[in-house]
Amino acid sequence: MKDILKKYGTNKVKEEHLIKRHQTTIFPSKCFNCNVYKMQPYDFLTARGENTGKDTCSACMSINSKKVKDSVGKNKIDCPCGLSYYATELNTCKHQVSKAHINGVAQLRIKGLNKICKIQEMRKIAQANKIHNYYSLKMEVIITELLKLDVVIIPDVIKC
């Protein structure tokens, strides 16, 4: 208690965002990971200033976060279909059979289209190319109709 009074001047929390979360007193608490006593709530806040309630100090949380970011960054794949995902064998198989991947790769074959479009943008392209009932067609149908055309007109709104 003497250390708290020496360091903070009082054992009462002064920050409004901590008081709103009913954290009104400063008290010593032991970190679950490093087994060192630190001051609750100040030494147990995340980078955003929130208390997770897991009894892990800020230093241990930052070390764990760095490990997770490093491992996740290594496995991230940017697919040509326009999506990014974390590569495991199962995720890769699921992604390659998904409609988003199939439609994204098919869009790359459309002449003059150099980006992956959403359904609203594809309908605008279909309208510009005078495809009948473009407003009710699904993405796959629009793509197959556009692939049949020799010259595809792409509106200026959609061009990158």
- Per residue in 48-105, pLDDT tens? 777 777 788 888 888 888 888 887 777 888 898 888 888 888 989 999 999 999 999 9
What's phi and psi for 38, nearest 5 deg? -135, 170
Domain positions in the chain are 2-71, 99-148
Q: What is the pTM of this model?
A: 0.54
d(CA 57, CA 29): 9
So what's the pLDDT on residue 8? 67
- Per residue in 105-156, pLDDT tens? 999 898 888 888 899 999 999 999 999 998 999 999 999 999 999 889 988 8
Residue by residue, what is the 3-state secondary structure of 117-153?
CCHHHHHHHHHHCCCCCHHHCCHHHHHHHHHHCCCCC
Helix axes 139-148 and 119-128, enclosed angle (nearest 10) = 30
